[in-house]
Every structure is written in structure tokens, then in C-alpha cells.
């Protein structure tokens, strides 16, 4: 048997093949269940071969974050429509409460829409923005603004429009404005829930990064 040194033995064997292994993060830290669809690819499957809208990552729509963002968008858009359709004519009667609510609704709706669109299109944006302080502060401020503006508007609607509702048949501005401030309370609570979720996500991400 020929004598083989340690160096010669190492050269006779080929190196082991390297593999990339994906380690999933602990549950509850990401919140983005999957950046792709159920088939592992972004977009929508038409016939098993063709896919459309591959820039959209539909996995985000299955998460609780997507649910609260969609609720914020739908209710905010409805309030915006009712304010412009029924409240503009009586804006002077409602005073500052109408302007404050309209400003609050426009700002929160625009920001929520941009965040929802970015999260659907880019998982990287979600993983950077969602656990940041911006989401916590934005949703916390939106919660406070919606609740305060809804209370202010409810008082003005009761004192300035209720009389017309009792005396003018078919007066639709009062029910519409009542629906606006009621939905304002609802979306304010949803923003509060969203702020709590973002805070938990931020703390979980911070603890995870500190371990490494």
C-alpha cells in the first residue's frame, strides 16, 4: 500500500457540493406569509402556463396586515365620496369640523393607499417599512385624528343639520354625514389596531436582529 501524506489524501477527494439552504424565520416575525402566490411565482395563473400581473405579489393579500389596509382604504374612500357628494353644500354650516375631517380623511387615505400599493408590488418594501417607526406613528396619529375629527363632526351635524332633516322631506345630507362620522370611528379603531400590529412587528424584528 503506497504511503500517502495528509496533503495528498486531501487532493484525491473532490470537494463536497455546496447547497444554499433557506431558513424560515420564526412565526409571527415576518407577517408576510408569502411574497408569491400558491404556486411559488408572483402574479395570477390563467391556464397553468401563462401568468399575468407578475409584478403583483398576491401572497401579501392573505395576511392580517393586508386586511386592515384594505379596510382603511375602502372606508376612507367611502367617507371621502360622501363628504364631497353631500357635505360640500353645507360646509359653511358645519364650519371647521367639515374641513378638519376632510383634511384628515384625505391625508390618511392617500398614505394608506400608497402603502397598500407598495406592499403588494414589493415584498422588500414591506420588510423595510412595515417594521419601522413610520408605520407605528402614522397609524397612531391617524387613529387619534379620526376619532377627534369624528367627534367634532358629529357635534356639528347634530346641531346644524338635524333641524333640516326634521323639517325638509328627503333631506339626505344628515344621514350621509351621520354615516361619515360613524365610519370615522370605525376606521379610527382599525388604524389603532394597525398601529398595535406594526409595533409588535417592529419589536419582533428588533429582537430578531439583536440575536444576530
Instruction: Name the percent of the chain lying above pLDDT 90.
Output: 56
Q: Does 63 have pLDDT greater than 80?
A: yes
Q: By C-alpha distance, which of 42, 86, 95 is closest to 175? A: 86
Give 189-194's long-range contacts (Cβ < 8 A, gap of 24+). 189/143, 190/68, 190/71, 190/72, 190/75, 191/72, 191/108, 191/139, 191/140, 191/142, 191/143, 191/146, 192/139, 192/140, 192/143, 193/68, 194/65, 194/68, 194/69, 194/72, 194/135, 194/139
Q: Does 51 have pLDDT greater than 60?
A: no
Q: Does 107 have pLDDT greater than 80?
A: yes
Q: Does 7 have pLDDT greater than 80?
A: no
Q: Is 18 domain-assigned? A: no
> Which of 41-45, 88-92, 109-113, 205-209 shows the lowest per-residue confidence on average (mean pLDDT)?
41-45
Q: By C-alpha distance, which of 31, 120, 36 is closest to 73? A: 120
Q: Is 78 domain-assigned? A: yes
How confident is the model at residue 39, as a pLDDT? 37
Q: Is 53 domain-assigned? A: no
Q: Does 4 have pLDDT greater than 80?
A: no
User: What cell numbers appear for 184 in the block?
Assistant: 370615522
What is the overall mean pLDDT for the chain?
80
Mean pLDDT of the region 21-29: 40
For residue 132, the enclosing domain spans: 63-211
* Pair 174, 162: CB distance under 8 Å: yes
| CA distances for 115 relative to 61, 87, 135, angstroms | 13, 28, 9
Count of domains for the chain = 1
Q: Is 75 domain-assigned? A: yes
Give first-to-last CA distance, the chain, whole Å: 49
Instruction: Name the percent of the chain lying above pLDDT 70.
Output: 71
Q: HSE (CB half, 13 Å, CA atoms) of 56?
A: 10
Count the residues in the chain: 212
Q: Is 118 domain-assigned? A: yes
* Pair 153, 176: CB distance under 8 Å: no
Q: Is 130 domain-assigned? A: yes
Res. 60 pLDDT band, cuts 50 70 90: confident
Q: Is 198 domain-assigned? A: yes
Q: Is 82 domain-assigned? A: yes
Q: Does 123 have pLDDT greater than 70?
A: yes
Amino acid at each position: 500500500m503506497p504511503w500517502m501524506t495528509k496533503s495528498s489524501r486531501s487532493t484525491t477527494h473532490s470537494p463536497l457540493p455546496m447547497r444554499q439552504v433557506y431558513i424560515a424565520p420564526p412565526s409571527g416575525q415576518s407577517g408576510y406569509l408569502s411574497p408569491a402566490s400558491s404556486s411559488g411565482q408572483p402574479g395570477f395563473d390563467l391556464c397553468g402556463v401563462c401568468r399575468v400581473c407578475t409584478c403583483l405579489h398576491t401572497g401579501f393579500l392573505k395576511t392580517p396586515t393586508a386586511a386592515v389596509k384594505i379596510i382603511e382604504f375602502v372606508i376612507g374612500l367611502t367617507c371621502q365620496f360622501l363628504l364631497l357628494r353631500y357635505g360640500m353644500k353645507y360646509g359653511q354650516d358645519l364650519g371647521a369640523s367639515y374641513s378638519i375631517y376632510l383634511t384628515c380623511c384625505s391625508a390618511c387615505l392617500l398614505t394608506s393607499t400608497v402603502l397598500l400599493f407598495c406592499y403588494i408590488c414589493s415584498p422588500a418594501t414591506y420588510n423595510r417599512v412595515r417594521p419601522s417607526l413610520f408605520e407605528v406613528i402614522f397609524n397612531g396619529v391617524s387613529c387619534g385624528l379620526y376619532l377627534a375629527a369624528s367627534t367634532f363632526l358629529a357635534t356639528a351635524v347634530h346641531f346644524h343639520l338635524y333641524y333640516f332633516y326634521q323639517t325638509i322631506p328627503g333631506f339626505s345630507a344628515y344621514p350621509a354625514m351621520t354615516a361619515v362620522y360613524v365610519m370615522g370611528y370605525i376606521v379610527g379603531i382599525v388604524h389603532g389596531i394597525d398601529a398595535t400590529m406594526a409595533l409588535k412587528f417592529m419589536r419582533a424584528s428588533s429582537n430578531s436582529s439583536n440575536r444576530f
